[in-house]
Amino acid sequence: MTTKEEYARGKKVKVGVTDLTKCYDELLVLDDINFEIYDGEMLCIVGPTGCGKTTFLNTLARFIPATRGDILVDGTPSDPRRHNIAFVFQEVSSIPWLSVEDNIRFGLRIKRLPADEIERRVETMLELVGLKPFRRNFPQELSSSMEQRVVIARNFALNPDLLLMDEPYGQLDIKLRYYLEDELIRIWNELKSTVLFVTHNIEEAVYLGQRILVLSNKPAKIKEEIIVDLPRPRKFDDPEFVKIREHVTESIRWW
């Protein structure tokens, strides 16, 4: 198995989180969380239900202020105005009054990118997610898995410094999920974005992640860090895959 030192060798730290703590009054939700995300990494976070995953993501996205601790992107404190932090929510957040292509333009326009750059990226993303034939459709004319792909395209189009994904496939049936997970790997390989993927599905985490962080029950701490050095495409029934999956399952138990 690859050790942490071997894994980190030659990798550049993209996001550094130190002593991240969040309290709601007396209630401690995040307790001294420390970790790094490397440039271009696919990092999965798993944890038991109700362990504070949502708070964790919201703090990372700067939706809610941290009680203590720092989040550094490229060495400077993270700031939505300066850094590109993208967020794929659990619920589909496509914008109903914009066509598929305008949905992809949405974030780029808010960022005020030059028009020709926006067009270039929209074309690339439409190609990558295969939504070209549907570019002028409105989201509700598509199936919900296609809608989620629109949202994913919209977020990857930003070339985000960090892409946060909060169980984006949680509500899809298993066949579509497999398909979209493969698509995610493909886009990620193509664009080399840094992705933090939160899920409660252990199999999904082992399938996608280069590295998995296991969160403990509330207050959330990082309980374990697991490096998944399996080649891709990964196979669910590969003994190595099963071994890692069982290891994560064991680690996640808190009783």
Nearer Cβ to other proteins (141/190): 141
Candidates 117-125, 136-144, 193-201, 213-221; binding stretch for other proteins (CB under 8 A): 136-144
Q: Which long-range contacts (CB under 8 A, 24 or more apart) does 70-78 make?
A: 70/16, 70/17, 70/18, 70/19, 70/20, 71/15, 71/16, 71/17, 71/20, 72/15, 72/16, 72/17, 72/18, 73/14, 73/15, 73/161, 73/162, 74/14, 74/161, 75/16, 78/15, 78/162
Q: What one-character DSSP code corresponds to residue 135?
A: T
* 146-165 positions binding other proteins, by CB under 8 A: 158
Q: Does 191 bind other proteins (CB under 8 A)?
A: no
38, 87, 188, 197: residue in contact with other proteins (rule CB under 8 A): 87
Q: Does 227 bind other proteins (CB under 8 A)?
A: no
6, 12, 19, 63: residue in contact with other proteins (rule CB under 8 A): 63
Q: What is the identity of the amino acid at 133?
A: P
Please work out, in degrees rounded to the nearest 5, the angle formed at the alpha carbon of residue 81 by the alpha carbons of 31 and 149: 80
70, 117, 141, 246: residue in contact with other proteins (rule CB under 8 A): 141
106, 178, 179, 241: residue in contact with other proteins (rule CB under 8 A): 106
Cα first-last separation, the chain: 27
Candidates 34-42, 103-111, 204-212, 224-232; binding stretch for other proteins (CB under 8 A): 103-111
7, 89, 178, 179: residue in contact with other proteins (rule CB under 8 A): 89
Q: Does 136 bind other proteins (CB under 8 A)?
A: no
